Structures are given as structure tokens and as C-alpha cells.
Structure 1
Amino acid sequence: MKSLTTKLKLLRPVLTSLCSYSSTDQTLLLNEFTRFCYQRDLPKALRVMDTLQSHGLWADSATYSELIKCCMSHRAVHEGNLVRRHLYFNGHQPMLFLANVLINMYVKFNLLTDAHNVFDEMPLRNVVSWTTMISAYSKSKQQQKALELLVSMLREGVRPNVYTYSSVLRSCEEMSDVRMLHCGIIKEGLESDVFVRSALIDVFAKLGEPEDALSVFDEMVTGDAIVWNSIIGGFAQNSKNDEALKLFKRMKRAGFTAEQATLTSVLRACTGLTLLELGMQAHVHIVKYDQDLILNNALVDMYCKCGSLDDARRVFNGMKERDVITWSTMISGLAQNGYSQEALELFESMKASGTKPNYITIVGVLFACSHAGLLEDGWYYFRSMKKLYGIDPVREHYGCMIDLLGKAGKLDDAVKLLNEMECEPDAVTWRTLLGACRVQGNMVLAEYAAKKVIELDPDDAGTYTVLSNIYANSQKWDSVEEIRTRMRDRGIKKEPGCSWIEVNKNIHAFIIGDESHPLIVEVKEKLKQLIDRMIGIGYVPETNFVLQDLEGEQMEDSLRHHSEKLALTFGLMTLPLGKVIRIRKNLRICGDCHVFFKLASKLENRSVVIRDPIRYHHFEDGKCSCGDYW
């Protein structure tokens, strides 16, 4: 009884107000409120809302929905809170639809606590309510919270829909969670949905399981480009470039048109395989997306990494819009291809354009300095990056400087900088010092650096090989044998030299010591003739690059069949005059092959481009773009 009396006292002011306010006035007030809401006049709408609240009146849900959308468009958080308080004033409970709109508003404002408070206050929640919250936590990388909500949703008997699963899947970071969700998807019969399949493929690829992604893709015939985009992108993302390109061909045969996302993945695959011809074919499809920034950036990257700088410059110069990725890609591409001065000039143009460099841009700038021996410039950019651009140096920046100092013969300064690093040197940093030591012939420091690499990366076959070669250079054959024994005991095998060349859209691989290529006999005979002609004009094989316990003719024979020499010879045999010979190599080019390629470019009047793991070498008329500084 007391409770009822209390409630009547609370309601008396409202009842009195309503009695003094005619139904006609109420209608006019509500109509005015509705008009201001739909006109998106936020200040006037809020003033009328205050009047409504003082008279205990509420408009319809659609009108409040417009008002909330107006708050969202103006990023008006305070005003959004006023609307929420009005809707819950004096025990009033908004409709389910409107509560969902409120949750969405707080999610858009990135106020997840407020969104969850509204969610918790709801007496009834539907699949939209749950999915909005699950999606919000997934996007904010709170995966565990998203999964907990999904479990609660199922316990309350609300069935997830395709949007629920596609939202939560994409932020999964544990394979066990993905497996669990996959089972739930199959149980709900949603595995055939385009968005769910696409999300499953994306997450399997992201977690490094492209084969599982392919299993999902192959479960049924797909009739949607979204799923094709996901599977092609997944394989390209995992550097399964051959498979990505095969899937692209399947997609084209199935009658699907390549979209921006697909073409970006195709370009990534062409870049990884250095397939210039196929990349140029993809460029034809991109013409209709002429000013798509992401695609143009991918094109610049592809042309740079395939060693076709003229094409890269053409795309870059034709772009109406450029971002920091565009500039950084072109600067790094020029530096890697041996055009360091042009890279630094482009950096100045970037600054003049008003584009602020990021840490990747500075890596490209320091790389340019390091590969051109620009010591003073390198020091200037390194020392000023924090002061001028607010960029703290990281391992990549230190690595470029250590490389620059080492090549300049400043090994003491390189070691000093390594010891001053703000982050702990990793195996890559020590490998950089190791490479500099080899160039300068400092075997003592090289041995120390190699041992540091092995401490950090005990299975690094390349460093064991370098250490073995250091001992071989010093004729320490017992130490060489000891290293080889350690490698055998750990099951570590030296990576054989391998070179690839594209001829008529087919990739031909040449591996040192391998006789499987169908034209290997003809290639070796042609190579012998070429070497004999070179010897006639003064070529002498530099046998110090054969770091094994061999003698005389054995050393020369080992050099004769380096994989890049075989690939070059095959290119001379099969590619027409005037066609640039492009070779990709898995190991760094040796000094003897560098001399050989310079002579071959002059003797055969051919342009040759070699891409090794470090940089590109453009050989023409007996010269190399690196200026013999690498």
C-alpha cells in the first residue's frame, strides 16, 4: 500500500501537467519534434525533447532513430547521452528496435562500456542486439569477450546468424576458437553462406593454414566473387604465389570478373614470383580502376620488384593521388634497383608535397645511402629522423646504418652503433655486421658475428655456411669439417643456389648440380662457348669465391655452373634480341658472377636484371647499376 502511495506522489506532477496540456498542443509539439529530427536540426530537436520530457511525452521510435543518427553524424556524444536519458526517463522503456539503435550509436562512438550498459538494461534482446555487441568487441580486438558473448547468446536460445559468425571469425587469433566456431556454423547450417565462407577462408589464411581455407572453398561450387577474392588473397598472403595464380586462372575460367581485391592479390603473387609478364597482363585489367590508390600502389611495388623501373615511374607519375605508401614504395624501389641518388631526390619531393614520412620511408632512404656509400647523408638522415619526423629508430634503421658503416670500412663505428642500439640486436642485425666483415676481410670479427647469429638462430643454414667459408678462406679445413659435422648432427642442409627465369610465361629453374632441366646439356655447351669467348677478352674466373677445399680446374668448374650463369645462358638462347633478360636468385650474387654478367652484357649486347635477396643489379654495356658497390 505504501509503495502505491509513493508512486502516486511521483506521478502527480506529471498528471497535473498533462491535464493542463491539451491533446492538440501535444500533437503539435510531437509534430514539431518529428520535423526537427528529420531535418537533422539537432539543437532545436533537443530543446523540444526537453519540453516533451517535462510533460511526460515520448515520440515514436522512428523519430528517435533519426535523432540518434543525427547525433552520430555530428559525433555528438553529449547530445547522444541526453537522448538516452530521455528514453529511459521515469522508468520509460524504449522499444527493442530503438535500444539496438542506441547500442549501435555507442559502438560507433567507440564507447563499448556504455553500449554494454544499454545492452544489459534490455529486458529482451534479439539477434541484432547480440551481433552488434559481438561485432564491436571483435573489431576492438577483444576476442575473448566476443566469444563469451557468443556462448551467452547460445545459452539464451538466440540463434546466431551469418553476420554474427562472420564478425567474430575475422578477429580470431587461436585455431582452437576457429575450429569451435566452424563446428557451430555447420550445426546451424550456415556453411554455404557467402559471408561466412569468406570469413572462414580469411581467418584460416590469416592463421597460416591456407590448405584448410582451400578445403572450405572446395566444399561447394561457389557462385560469388567474394569467396574467390578471399581464397586468392589467402594464398597470396601466405606467399603461396603459384597456388594463388592457379586459383585466379580457375576464377577467370569460371566466368568471374576480377575486382580490385582480387587484382591486388594477383599483383602480390606476381611480385613474389617476379613474374613481370603476368603482372603486365594484370595491369590490363586494372585500367578500368585507373585511379584506385591501393591498386596503383601494388602496381608500383610489382614493377619495382620485377626490376622494371621505367614502368614503375610511369605508373607513379600518372597517379593523381599518392599517400605515404606510394612515396615509400617508389623510394625503396629506386634504392633497391641501384638508383640511390634518384631515391633521395624523390624523398625531397615527398617532403615538398606535404606528405609526412613514416618509419618505412626512412628505411628506404637509409637503404639508398647504404647501397651507394653515402656515409654523411646516411648519418644525417639517421640522426635527424627523431628530431624532424618524430620517428624512433628501430632494428631496420640500425641495420641499414651498420651495413653502410661496414661497407665504408668503419667496422669499429658499426660495432659501437650496434652496442648503442635501443633495442636488443637480433639475428638479422648480426648477419648485417657479418656481411660487412666479409666485405672488409675482417675474419676475426666475422667469426664473432657468425657465432652470435648461430646463438640466436641455431638452425640458420646460411650462417653455418658463411662460417665454414670463413675457415676455408683461412685454409682451416679442420674447422670447416667441424662446422659441416655440426650441420649434419642438427640436420641442417646448405641451401643450394637456384635461379629462375621467365620465358614465354613459363618459369625455368636452374639449380647448381642439378641436371633435370630438359635443355641442360645444350645450356652447358653454350655456357662453355661463352666463357671461352670471355677468356679471350681477359676474363679470369675469381676462384676465391669457391670456398671449398678444391684445386685448380675443379674450382673453375664449380664457378662455371653457378645457377645464375646457367639461367643467363638459357635466356640468351631463348629470348629474342632486345628483350631484357630477368633472373631471380635465392642467394646473393657472388663477385665472379658479377664480373661475368658485366662482360656478358657487353659481349652479347643484352640488358640483364638480376634480383637477389638483397637488391637488384641492372647490367648493360659492361656496367652494373650498383657501380660495383654492393
Structure 2
Amino acid sequence: MIGRTSMLLESNLKLKALGYNGDLSKARSFFDSMPERNIVSWTTMLALFSTHATVSEAWHLFNAMPLHDLVSWNIMLAAYAFNGHLKEARSFFGSMPCWDVVSWNSMLSGIIKHGSLNDALQWFGIMSVRNLVSTNALLNAFSQAGHFAEAKNLYSTMPEHDIVSHNAMLAAYGHTGDVEEARCVFYSMSYCDLATWTILLSLYAQNGHLVEAKCMFDSMPQQDIVSTTAMMAAYAQNGHLKDAVDIFNGMHYLTLVSWNSMLDGYAQNGYLKEAKILFQIMPMRNLVSWNVMLAAHAGNLDDSTRFFGGMQARDTVSWNVLMAANTYNGHFVEAISLHMEMKMEGCDPDDATFISLFFSCSHLGDVICGLKYFVSMLIDYNFHATKQHYHCMVDLLARSGFLHEACTMIEEMPFMPIVDDWICLLGSCRSYNVPELGAYSGIRGSRSYNVPELGAYSGIRGIELNVDSLPRANRENARFNTLSQKKKDVRRTSSGRASAGAVESIPPSHNSEAQLADMNSSPSSLQVVDHSPSQASGRWQPQMIPSSGEREGLHDWQARKYQGPDEAFLCHGPKCYRETFFVMVATYLGVPSPA
């Protein structure tokens, strides 16, 4: 009996060794020749099939097993989920006799990889048992999808963290450029791996902290090809091309990422001739290599179009580069046509695609087309609008003469407006000869961003603001600004001199709830629903709430919208607060909503 058990154990170990070497045919032959098998033998072979064979082959082997335990059920579930067969995975999950945390995590990982983030959130919410692996999977999903506020909220509410949690959060801060927050996470870690050092090194480099990046590189306990390539890219991104070339030439082993990083360094710094030479001598290329060279040719539209036509394969980045080249050179109609060709080739757009489309529509004066694209971005593709998208839409509306709508958009966007938004509106007010709104935008821009030249540029001297011509949501600020301007004019007259463009700082208005209700009920402007915050339920919910830095400068009535969890900010699709405004703008202008 002991001899048989020993032989079976030895056979299982040999079967597992063959599987680790990736030789499925030899493993299958050995499995078939085994005189005796147990549940370990079957599950080992099933794991090999789920990794190296097709799902159907794994399913046939699963059905041939004399008995099943929870391990075999989980292996088959993971085979469905990880290979993108989510419908079959859900059905199989429902047929399982019982579940453990591995079962739930396998489904969650499959949905994150092949499904949508909303579906992953829903699955995470119904999981009866979770562990650190579950939360880390969702944290990584938030970070990779660009939902950095939700990632930060989840990270802060996690009862425990490990190296995976910390690295995911560092990667999120790398995308947002928040160096200080990344430092706090790094110095709070009890253990760092090589990935941690490399992520922070890249974060420093991307934000121009080249000295800190070099110190980080020199302090690393060990350096590998990834960290060395990251340091090379850091030099190239910050204009130190000679140092980047020195690292590149000193590397004993070059990966495709190393070649692409050096190629991108030449292209970014304007060395097109050297980039072409390097591209020709590269031992291998991928789509990234071709896209880098396409971007290098973007300044010359004929060259970029010719290079694009010679590419054997294209992805969304390729189309985006050519669209951006057309918009940069003033070929706006051609940029929109490229979007149609892109769709016909089966290539889905991303957020950068829509920026080129909004920019083109803005310069063509086609506000209806621009708003249709915006609604399509939100509903058809379930994208979330970024600050750059908002700025493009402000520019689109303002250039097309929808000045009050553009002003309301600036006031109501969930991000802090940038000074360029007010400058854009101010320029359009001058073009369309709307002095009252121009004066208001000049004062708002100069007061919020300490740019007194905006007040002078708006030509507010001698203008009596007609407050009733403004959107009601802007009238109270306008009254404060008008009163301040009158006081300033009196002081200027009495002193006999006028300080060019000096606009005094005016405290933000304090509106009562009754006044707010009256403002929001204006029939002359868009109806923007004021979502008051609900009480926190104690359960973590993903939100898109401006950071404390973005809340600085908001009026009290605006800041109150961001004081805690609010169902209006839950990003479960395009119907969250920040997109609702644009859907209303589209409706107001007669743009039909997509089916």
C-alpha cells in the first residue's frame, strides 16, 4: 500500500514537472500511461489544459473526471473567466455546489480583464466573501481605468495593505502626477520590491524631478533592465538626450522596450534623422515603434500621411496621431473623416480621439456635431469626461455663440475651471459683442486666478453690467463684482489715476438655500439640478469627488456639493452628475439622444 502511494505521488510530481515545462503533449501522454490516478492527478492535468489548451478541451477533461472537488471546479471556472467566456463562466459559477473566496476572485478577475468596470463593481458588491486579493484587483482596475479618485477612496478604506496595494496606488499617483502623495505612500511601506522603486522613479521623471529620479535610481538595492530603461527614458523625457544615449550604449542587453524608449527620446527632442536611423537598425519592431515614428512625422502632414499608409497594422494610437496631425495643420474636415474610417476598420476610439473631434468641430463652428460626439462618448462608449474634454466643449460653445451656455458650463463643471476657460469665453464675448458677460468673465478670471490683465482686457471700464442679462446662477457674483467695480471707479476718480487692469479681490458670495433654489429655477438658462449630499452610509462607495486642491476657490454653494458621498457622483455609467449637464446642453440645442 505504501509502495503504491509512493509511486502515485512520484507520478503526480513528474506530471506537474512536465506541465511546468510547457510540454502539454508529453504531459498528456504520461497522464494516459499512468496505471493509477487520483484527484490530484486529474486536477493537475486540468490545470495544464486550462493554461495551455483550449477551454473546450479543458471542459471535456473536466467532464471525464470520475469525481470533482472544489479545486477542480475553481480551475474550470478560471479557465472560462480568464479566457473571456464570461457568459459561460457565470453559468458555470451558478452550477457549482459551493463557492469559496477563490471562486469569487476568479470571476472578479475575469470581469475586470474582459468585461466592464461597472460590471466588476457590481460583482464586487455582491461577493459574500472577500480578501486582500479581491480589493487589490479592484484597486488595480480603478488605477488602470483612470478612476484615480475612486482608487484613492478604496485605498484609504482598506483595513490592510500589501506590496500589491501600495504599488497600485503609486501607479495611480504616477498618472495624476501627485508626487507628494506618492512619497507618503512610499515612506509608509515596510517593504519595497523592484517594481516599487521603478514606479517611483518613473513618477519623478514624468513630473520633471530628474534629480530625485537619479537619486532614486542610485539608491535602488539592485537595478535590472526595467529600471535602467526607466532611467534612460527619464533623461530623454527631460531633454538630457546625451545622458540617455550613454545609458543606452552601456546596456549589455536591450529589450524592445529599451529600443522604443530610445526611439521615443530622439523623436520627442526633434532628432528625426537619428530616429529614422535607429528605426532602421532596430532588430525588432512592434506597433509602438511605428506609432513613435508616426508621431515624429506629425509636423509634416504629407510625411505623416504617407508613413501612416505604409503601416502594416494600426491601432487607436495610430489613428489618433494622424487625426491630431490633421487638426494641428488646420485640416479639420479631414480629421473628422479619419474618425469615420477608423470606425469602419473596427478600431474603437478613446478619450484622445474625442479631443481631436471636439477641437475640429470647434474650429469648424459645428456645435451640433460636437455635442453629438460628446453624447456618443458618454453613452455609446461609456467614457468619463476629463477636464480637457470640458475645456474643448467650453471652446466649442463659446466659438459658436452659445455664450451663456459656455459660462454655465464653466461654473457647473465638477473640476476647477482653468484660466483658459475664462479667456476663451472672454474672447468670444468680444467677438460677439456681449460686453456684460465679457466683463463678468474677465472679473471672474482675474479674481479666481490672480490675473488682473483679464479685467483690463474685458474692457469693463464705463460698462454698467446688465445683471439681468446673465444666467441667474451667475447674477449674485455679478452683483458683487459690479459693486466692487463701482467702488473702484470712485477711488480712481478721487485719486486722479487709474491702475491699468487692477481688479480687487472680492470675497465669494454666501447664498442662502432659498436664493439657490431661485437661481436654479431660471427659465432663461439651462436647468442644472443641484444634487445635495446624502449622509454617508458607512459603506465604501466609489466616487468622483474633486480633491481638496481642486475645491480651493469654489464658492460655498459649489463646495457643498462635494462634502461627502453622494449618489450623484457615483460613476456607474454616463448618468452621473458631471455628464448630466452635457446631456441637458445637448437636449437644449436639439441634439437627439442616441437610442
Q: Which TM-score applies when normalising by structure 1?
A: 0.49
> In the TM superposition, what whole-angstrom CA distance separates every residue of 1:329-388 from its partner, at most 9, and x where no partner exists?
3223212223334434434433544445556445434533554xx44xx24523543677
Q: Which one-letter code corresponds to 2:171 in the other structure? A: R
* Offset, 1:227: 0.9
CA distance in 2 between counterparts of 1:292 and 1:311 reads: 20
Q: Name structure 2 gaps, 5 residues minimum.
A: 1-34, 51-56, 113-122, 143-150, 463-488, 507-595
* Offset, 1:453: 2.0
1:332 aligns with 2:324: yes
Q: 1:282 aligns with which of 261, 264, 275?
A: 275
Give the match's secondary structure for 1:338: coil
Cα pair 1:370 1:400 within 8 Å, conserved: yes
CA distance in 2 between counterparts of 1:343 and 1:452 reads: 34
Aligned to 1:251: 247
Larger gyration radius, structure 1 or structure 2: 1
Cα pair 1:414 1:433 within 8 Å, conserved: no
Give the match's secondary structure for 1:117: coil
* Offset, 1:313: 1.7
Give the match's secondary structure for 1:483: coil
Pairwise CA RMSD: 5.3
CA change 1:336–1:184 in 2 (3 A) is closer
Aligned to 2:79: 70
Q: 2:499 aligns with which of 482, 490, 502?
A: 482
Q: Which one-letter code corresponds to 1:214 in the other structure? A: K
Q: 1:303 aligns with which of 282, 297, 300?
A: 297
CA distance in 2 between counterparts of 1:152 and 1:296 reads: 40
Cα pair 2:202 2:230 within 8 Å, conserved: yes
CA change 1:134–1:452 in 2 (3 A) is closer
Cα pair 2:315 2:347 within 8 Å, conserved: yes
Aligned to 2:140: 139
CA change 1:424–1:112 in 2 (3 A) is closer
Q: Which one-letter code corresponds to 2:79 in the other structure? A: C
CA distance in 2 between counterparts of 1:228 and 1:480 reads: 62
* Offset, 1:431: 1.2
Give the match's secondary structure for 2:239: helix
Give the match's secondary structure for 1:139: helix
Q: 1:395 aligns with which of 390, 396, 400?
A: 390
Cα pair 1:36 1:44 within 8 Å, conserved: no
Cα pair 2:263 2:278 within 8 Å, conserved: no
Aligned to 1:428: 420
Q: Which one-letter code corresponds to 1:248 in the other structure? A: A
Cα pair 2:232 2:248 within 8 Å, conserved: no
> In the TM superposition, what whole-angstrom CA distance separates every residue of 1:382-435 from its partner, at most 9, and x where no partner exists?
354367775799534433434543xxxxxxx34254257497374433311323
CA distance in 2 between counterparts of 1:209 and 1:398 reads: 33
Aligned to 1:560: none
The count of residues paired between Structure 1 and Structure 2 equals: 399
* Offset, 1:143: 5.5
Q: 1:463 aligns with which of 442, 446, 454?
A: 454
Give the match's secondary structure for 1:482: coil
> In the TM superposition, what whole-angstrom CA distance separates every residue of 1:246-266 from its partner, at most 9, and x where no partner exists?
552342243367655556666
Give the match's secondary structure for 2:67: helix
Q: Which one-letter code corresponds to 1:463 in the other structure? A: L
* Offset, 1:103: 5.2
> In the TM superposition, what whole-angstrom CA distance separates every residue of 1:69-96 from its partner, at most 9, and x where no partner exists?
534445424535766838x8xxxxxxxx
Q: Which TM-score applies when normalising by structure 2?
A: 0.51
CA distance in 1 between counterparts of 2:278 and 2:156 reads: 41
Aligned to 2:92: 79
* Offset, 1:139: 1.0
Cα pair 1:279 1:302 within 8 Å, conserved: yes
Cα pair 2:210 2:238 within 8 Å, conserved: no
> In the TM superposition, what whole-angstrom CA distance separates every residue of 1:436-465 from its partner, at most 9, and x where no partner exists?
45567877765443223223422x376367
CA change 1:269–1:480 in 2 (3 A) is farther
CA distance in 2 between counterparts of 1:282 and 1:263 reads: 11
Aligned to 2:446: 454
CA distance in 2 between counterparts of 1:416 and 1:184 reads: 48
CA distance in 1 between counterparts of 2:166 and 2:319 reads: 38
Q: Which one-letter code corresponds to 1:138 in the other structure? A: L
Q: Name structure 1 gaps, 5 residues minimum.
A: 1-25, 89-98, 120-129, 154-159, 406-412, 491-630
Cα pair 2:290 2:311 within 8 Å, conserved: yes
Aligned to 1:292: 286
Q: Which one-letter code corresponds to 2:297 in the other structure? A: Y
* Offset, 1:217: 1.3
Give the match's secondary structure for 1:399: helix
Cα pair 2:260 2:289 within 8 Å, conserved: yes
CA change 1:481–1:324 in 2 (3 A) is farther
CA distance in 1 between counterparts of 2:93 and 2:339 reads: 45
Give the match's secondary structure for 2:198: helix
> In the TM superposition, what whole-angstrom CA distance separates every residue of 1:546-576 from its partner, at most 9, and x where no partner exists?
xxxxxxxxxxxxxxxxxxxxxxxxxxxxxxx
1:117 aligns with 2:129: yes
Give the match's secondary structure for 1:170: helix
CA distance in 1 between counterparts of 2:152 and 2:260 reads: 28
CA change 1:36–1:198 in 2 (3 A) is closer
1:218 aligns with 2:218: yes
CA distance in 2 between counterparts of 1:388 and 1:138 reads: 28
CA change 1:144–1:312 in 2 (3 A) is same
Instruction: Report sequence identity in percent.
Output: 16
CA distance in 2 between counterparts of 1:336 and 1:32 reads: 62
1:52 aligns with 2:67: yes
1:314 aligns with 2:329: no
